[in-house]
Structure 1
Amino acid sequence: MHSTLRAMWTGTFYALVAGLMWGLVFVGPLLVPEYPAALQSVGRYLAFGLIALPLAWLDRAALRQLSRADWMEALKLATVGNLLYYVCLAAAIQRAGAPLPTMIIGTLPVVIAIAANLRNAERDGRLPWARLTPSLLLIAAGIACVNQAELASLHGRSQADLLRYVTGALLALISVACWTWYPLRNADWLRHHPGRNPRTWATAQGIATLPLALIGYALLWLGMRVSGSDFAMPFGPRPSVFIALMVAIGLFASWLGTTCWNEASQRLPTVTAGQLIVFETLAALSYAFLLRGQLPGAQTMLGVALLVAGVVWAARVKPVPVEYVEMERL
């Protein structure tokens, strides 16, 4: 009993640190708004891959134990959970600002819980849908509040601004889809390999990301030259700022955040771990408003409170065995 409780608290702490690290990625696109989202994505993961190289050398004995199937899984996770997720997120933030995409990403705790409910019910138990409904309604209301507050700030602007806002919201939804898939697949691998070090798996994902980021960087550079773009490749108009930002995000958000999340995933049920992504949402909103140099308005604060209330409500819903749910129906 005590060991289970200790694992829950330790897993929650690791999830908190991961959230604080991941929240940094929401302010990156705001710090370099003139940089294309695709360049920010490949730049971040190029930095992640290069950071992983010396770590891989130190961990080479453990990495040699990974099979070809393990490396293919790391490659899939890197493609969807890293590159595709972040290019969509960075583009969403540049188009719609930070608060709305952050709140949309903030639905991940319950979206992941629902996905795990459908996918892993036999293993982790099932969350009764009737008990999840109030949390879904609270989260929907929270997103609506923040959306209304952000739209009010667009009042009187051009139709082009509204279109950018809508496309930003749609890109944030694609990010949600990517990061619903990622933690479920990642947790599956970690559950099936309980003896493997989560740090080693994070480093393996960094190594798998490196060739993808290199190819992406080269293709983006070539595409810009062919299209006649005047963007100053390879590092843009503010190279020192861009490089420092990519290294910081690659180290703290990508490697450290992934390592802490892997530690949490080994200790917590998938449904529970998924709900703790709310730490990322709260960190990202805090960083965004600090960057703006202002406090969020009352409507935005209400939206955040509703989101947190929805996640807390969902976290209180405990999984029950599938057999018990079937008996209740009968």
Structure 2
Amino acid sequence: MWIGTLYALAAGLMWGLVFVGPLLLPDYPATLQTVGRYLAFGLIALPLAWADRRALALLTRADWIEALKLAAIGNLLYYLFLASAIQRAGGPLPTMIIGTLPVVIAVCANLRNGARDGRLPWRRLALPLLFIAAGIACVNQAEFAALRADAAADVGRYALGALLAVGAVACWTWYPLRNADWLRAHPERSPRAWATAQGVATLPLALTGYGLLWGGMALGEAEFSMPFGPRPAFFIGLMFAIGLFASWLGTLCWNQASQRLPTALVGQLIVFETLSAFAYAFILRGQWPVLLILAGIALLVAGVIAALRVKPQSPPEVAGAGQRPAPDDPPAP
């Protein structure tokens, strides 16, 4: 139990790094950070693809097209929205919005896959959703008060950042639902090889995006120095660090935790990612969060944990026909 919890904590600490990049590179376009991160991850995935080459050879053309879609929306578009949101609204509010993902995914799965996986009772979800909404409101109020106190602050930019964070949530709500559809339709395939296939599919997309961005900046005579910006060594090192630790090692630690802990518990430990992202954001700010933000964080954590404790009811067509397999663990970005 303790080893599994430590693995989940390690995964959360590394996943929290994805919120740090935009704060450490405020002068770098979010598009460049996105293609840079996933170019690094795609290169890291190549040796993994060699290890899984036999399983990858079994994938059809349709499978690879699906992997490309998942990589484009769940990786590139998601992180483009997230990085853009953090650069515009700062760290706390986008982190808070992203922290609702486990519950948003559960609600969408309830609407979309209830007949297949069982439905969550809406009445029992009402209180957790109220906690989460109150938590977001607390953080938003505190950040907005800080904006009003700063004469140079741009409220419109902050609002756009919040909207972009909602876009990131939409991308990473679509991704696990679509990914689960493929895994359920191909129970004989290796989940590890499927994850590797998505990593490999990310590489050509990131390369293409990098080339288009570089060409567009050259044609527009942008002052930004391509290909690696004004701090090339720091940029390259940070992209590979996020690609290695957040995209690969964090997932490995999460899988280790999932093997050791009950499903009901491991789903709740996703909050380590949100707490880590908050900690990194305020460390970079060099200040402690105000009480209203601490209250918002507490409400978010309470809401997510309460929601993940709600058990799905058996689908009508299989009720009484034996115990239903446990639903998939809620994923983390």
Q: If the length of structure 1 is used for normalisation, what is the TM-score? A: 0.87
Q: Structure 2 residue aligned with 1:97, among 74, 90, 95?
A: 90
Structure 1 Cα separation of the partners of residues 298 and 239 of structure 2: 32
Is 1:62 paired with 2:55? yes
2:211 is matched with: 218
2:148 is matched with: 155
Q: Structure 2 residue aligned with 1:306, among 287, 293, 299?
A: 299
Give how far 1:83 is off: 0.4
Q: Could you give the per-residue CA deviations for residues 138-182 of structure 1, whole angstroms, max 9, x where no partner exists?
A: 000000111111111112435761111000000000000000011
Q: Structure 1 residue aligned with 2:229, among 236, 239, 244?
A: 236
Q: Structure 1 residues 66, 16: CA separation in 2 closer, same or farther (over 3 Å shift)?
A: farther
Structure 1 Cα separation of the partners of residues 130 and 298 of structure 2: 13
Contact 1:113 1:274 in 2 (8 A): no
1:72 is matched with: 65
Structure 1 Cα separation of the partners of residues 112 and 200 of structure 2: 29
Contact 1:128 1:319 in 2 (8 A): yes
Is 1:88 paired with 2:81? yes
Structure 1 Cα separation of the partners of residues 63 and 3 of structure 2: 26
Structure 2 Cα separation of the partners of residues 97 and 83 of structure 1: 20
Which amino acid is the alignment partner of residue 181 of structure 1? W
Contact 2:67 2:198 in 1 (8 A): yes
Q: If the length of structure 2 is used for normalisation, what is the TM-score? A: 0.87
Is 1:43 paired with 2:36? yes
2:194 is matched with: 201
Q: Structure 2 residue aligned with 1:124, among 109, 117, 125?
A: 117
Q: Structure 1 residue aligned with 2:134, among 141, 152, 164?
A: 141
Structure 2 Cα separation of the partners of residues 69 and 10 of structure 1: 39
Aligned length in residues: 318
Give how far 1:311 is off: 0.8
Moved more, 256-265 or 124-133: 256-265
Question: For the aligned residues, what is the CA RMSD?
Answer: 2.8
2:99 is matched with: 106
Is 1:190 paired with 2:188? no
Mapping 1:275-290, distance limit 5 Å: 277-290=270-283
Structure 2 Cα separation of the partners of residues 183 and 266 of structure 1: 19
Structure 2 Cα separation of the partners of residues 180 and 14 of structure 1: 24
Q: Structure 1 residues 305, 282: CA separation in 2 closer, same or farther (over 3 Å shift)?
A: same
Mapping 1:157-172, distance limit 5 Å: 157-158=150-151, 161-172=154-165
Q: Structure 1 residues 109, 265: CA separation in 2 closer, same or farther (over 3 Å shift)?
A: same
Q: Structure 1 residues 261, 301: CA separation in 2 closer, same or farther (over 3 Å shift)?
A: same
Give how far 1:285 is off: 0.9
Structure 1 unaligned segments of length 5 or more: list them: 1-7
Is 1:292 paired with 2:318? no
Question: What percent identity do the matched residue pairs reach?
Answer: 73
Contact 2:147 2:153 in 1 (8 A): no
